[in-house]
Every structure is written in structure tokens, then in C-alpha cells.
Amino acid sequence: GLHTNPYIGILFFLILPAIFLCGLVLIPLGAWIERRRRAAGKTPSAVSWPRIDLNDPTHRTTAVIVFTLTVANIVVVSLAAYRGVEYMDSPQFCGQVCHTVMKPEFVAHESQPHSRVKCVECHVGPGASSFAMAKLAGTRRVLAVALRNYPRPIVASADQLLSAGDTCEKCHWSEKFHGDKVRRITEYANDEKNTESVTTLRVHVGGGNGRLGTATGIHWHMNVANEIDYIATDAERQVIPYVRMKDGRGTVREWAADGVTPEQLAKGERRRMDCQDCHNRPSHAIAATPERAVDESMALGHIPTTLPFIRREAVKVLKASHASQDAAVAEISRTLRKFYQSETPVSVTRAPEVDRAILAVQDLYRRSVFPEMKVGFGTYPNNIGHVDFPGCFRCHDDNHTSTDGKTIGQDCETCHAIE
């Protein structure tokens, strides 16, 4: 607990114990080599096995010391192995050791509601086999990092992700009834006053146990009484041309998108819908657009709304391309200061607000754009909602039709009411 640098953890819990183990292995290895030398008829080495006589007090004392040290070695190695595994299961090891590769995921995780949940709790399944497979996969990734042949950006293969039952439902109860929740969406215009507009949505989250008659709202999709299967024809599950639903009464209905062929469906992935089909970025969400990131920061008070044109200028500098984060941070400061220095009253009377705005915009860039990994706004689709990515509209597009002519509707009031 005294170290904070992840590389010191590797030294203490991985490298030094490995050296210690290698030293212990040299003892039986030397004995085996000596045995082979003598079996081959070569001259024995000058060192010979000691003669032990436990009736001799000196020998007896030496044997006790050796036995005690052997027990101590076993304890040391066991503790080192335990601490090594524990350290390799920490978010610091996962996110900071391979800092360039996993930096986008680590930074996003640190600012999300699941920041106190360890990576392994969602990425390593239960049981020894899952643990072993995860460590083998980790070894392959370490080699990829060493050889610098990892993809940019890193995209998790959908078929390698754990099921919701092994992740989400360890903490969240799928049958819990949530009712309606109010969501307040604040946006700002690009004018001088950064004119604010607010949209209030009453989201019908719903949920509950269908057997008790409380299956309502968006979480109806995950109700235990309903079974929803779908076929996705792309790796990221953004194109869903087929949906099958079986309700609690056993009624089955199938929908297919216009123009889809049986051959296309046969090549797709068939899957039972669970939490992750909508909550696909629960711990690593990055703002979909610079506009959305700036609006949220302004609504939270991080970027002063009183600065003229700050919304427009902040979005502009966040959209610019840079070779690295350091270059971007320097350019953001230079560009915003230059803009407000041209407005003499602003630069003189509101210098603290300009400084605060620059720091907030730089922080947005650091948390959202990672040029080395080719990750930025909108790189990873987020299936909650339907504004920035298809999300709900992957199925609810009025384009999926059943054999009896009914479609999967797109009525706004199905999921929320605008107030």
C-alpha cells in the first residue's frame, strides 16, 4: 500500500518474486546436472553432498535452520503469488501499465459511476477456467504491446464479452421496478450569450416482474417473462435486421427489416437480448460529439456560460486535429486566449473566467480524445437513446415488419414524454 506507481508494483510483486523463484529452482537444477555428469562417467564436481548426522548437535541445528528457512520461503512465495495476482487484478495494472494502449478505457472508467468496480469483476468470468483464459489472453496482449502490433483503436470483440448474468446482475436486480425517471437535457447555442435551452424528458424506465403484471417501460425488454432474440449482421451489433419475441403467454412474433434476405440472416450472429445490448458502454463512455461534451460541462458550471461565444469557440478547438494530447492542450490554451485577447474588455475583466474555461476544455480533450490510439468523440457507439447513434432505432425504426404486417413502432411516447 506504500507504492502508487504501477511499475513499482510490477517490480515488487512480479519481477522480484520471479527472480527469487529462479534462485530456488537453481538448487534442484544443479543437483540434476550433477547427476547427469556422474551418469555420463565424467569427473564429479568438487562440491559433494553433505553428510548429515542428526546425532551431531551442529548438524541438527543446521537442519532445523534449513527447514525453518524452507517454510519461510514457502510463505514468502505464497504471499508474493497472492499479492501478484491481486495486483494484476487492479485497475491500475490494467489501465496504467500499458498506459498508451488502455489509456482511453482507464480514463473513462475513472470518471464513470462504476469507477470503484475493478476491471476483472466485469471482464473475467467466475471459476478457475475463466481466470486461466483471462490470464492467457492477457499474455497475448502483453506480447502485442511489446511488438506494437495492437489495433488502434482497441475494439472489444462482442463474442468475447461476458453475459449480463456474469457482470451486471451481480449487483443489479433485473426484476426491479424503476417507474418513470426525469432527465433534464441542457443545450447551448453558438451565439454571443450562449443561449440556454432545456428539454425535460420523463423516461418510462419501468421494469418489474412480468408474472406479477408489472412489466412496463423500457426495461420491459429485459423482463424475465419475455424472451427477445435478434440477429446482428455486423461485429458491433449496430445492424439488426431480424427480431423474434416470445411473451409470457408463449406467443411468438418475428420481424424482419425490409429487403433482408435469408442468406444475410444466416451469416449474422443470433443472440438473446440482455442488459448490454443497450448499456454497452456502462463504464467506458466517451462523449459522442464535442457539442454534447461542451453542453454538459457548461451545465455543470465547469465552463462559465457568461463568456461570450464560449460554446462556439470551445466546440471549435475540440474539433481540431492534433498529433498528441500535449500538443492539443497547448493549442487549446493558445487559441482561446488569442480569441478573448481580441476582446479587450473580456480579457481584462474576465481573466479568471477565461482561465477556468481553458482548464475545463483541456480536461474535456484529455478525457475524450486520444490521438495515439485514434480514439475520439464518437469512436465507440453508445446504444442508450437514439440521438447520436442508432441505439433504439436499430429495431424501433418502423422498418421491421412481421408476417401479419405489424411493425416495431417508433412512437416517442412509447419510451418517454417530453415536458
Length of the chain: 419
Q: Which pLDDT does position 73 carry in this prediction?
A: 83
The cell for 370 is 486520444
**What are 284's three cell numbers?**
467506458
Name the burial class of residue 300, with classes exposed (0-12), middle (13-18) and buried (19+) by CB atoms within 10 angstroms of its CB.
exposed
3-state secondary structure of 157: coil
Per-residue pLDDT of the chain (419 residues; tens, 9 = 90+): 445 566 666 676 667 778 888 888 998 998 898 888 888 888 877 776 678 888 888 888 988 999 999 899 888 878 777 777 777 778 877 887 766 788 899 999 988 888 888 888 888 888 888 888 877 777 787 788 878 888 899 887 776 778 888 888 888 887 788 888 999 999 999 999 999 999 999 999 988 776 666 678 888 888 777 889 999 999 889 999 999 998 878 889 999 998 899 999 999 999 999 888 999 888 899 999 999 999 999 999 999 999 999 999 999 999 999 999 999 999 999 999 999 887 656 666 788 899 999 999 999 999 999 999 999 999 999 999 899 999 999 999 999 999 888 999 888 888 888 87
**Residue holding cell 408463449?**
250
Q: Are 410 and 398 in contact (CB under 8 A)?
A: yes
C-alpha span between 347 and 337 (Å, rounded):
8
For residue 31, the one-letter residue type is A
**In this predicted structure, what is the pLDDT of residue 396?**
93
Identify the pLDDT of residue 313: 95
Cell of residue 144, nine digits: 502485442
In this prediction the pTM is 0.78
| Residues 109, 110, 114, 120, Cα dihedral to 10° | 60
Cα-Cα-Cα-Cα dihedral of 312, 317, 320, 323, to 10°?
-170
Task: Match 514468502 to its residue by C-alpha cell.
Answer: 76
Residue 8 is predicted with a pLDDT of 66
**C-beta contacts of 192-198 below 8 A and 24+ residues apart:** 192/308, 192/309, 193/308, 194/298, 194/305, 194/307, 194/308, 194/309, 194/310, 194/311, 196/305
Residue 254 pLDDT:
93
For residue 263, CA distances in Å to 208, 233, 239, 320, 403 come to 37, 11, 15, 43, 18
DSSP E strands, 189-326: 196-204, 227-232, 242-246, 252-257, 269-272
Q: What cell numbers appear for 356 in the block? A: 477556468
How confident is the model at residue 298, as a pLDDT? 96
- CA distance linking residue 265 with residue 250, whole number of Å: 24
- Judged by DSSP in three states, 370 sits in strand
Whether the CB-CB separation of 311 and 190 falls below 8 Å is answered with: yes
Q: In this structure, what DSSP letter does residue 269 have?
A: E
Cβ atoms of 311 and 194 closer than 8 Å:
yes
Q: Which of 404, 123, 381 is nearest to 240 (CA)?
A: 381
Alpha helices in 89-127 (DSSP H): 91-92, 99-110, 120-123
The span from the CA of 56 to the CA of 33, in Å, is 30
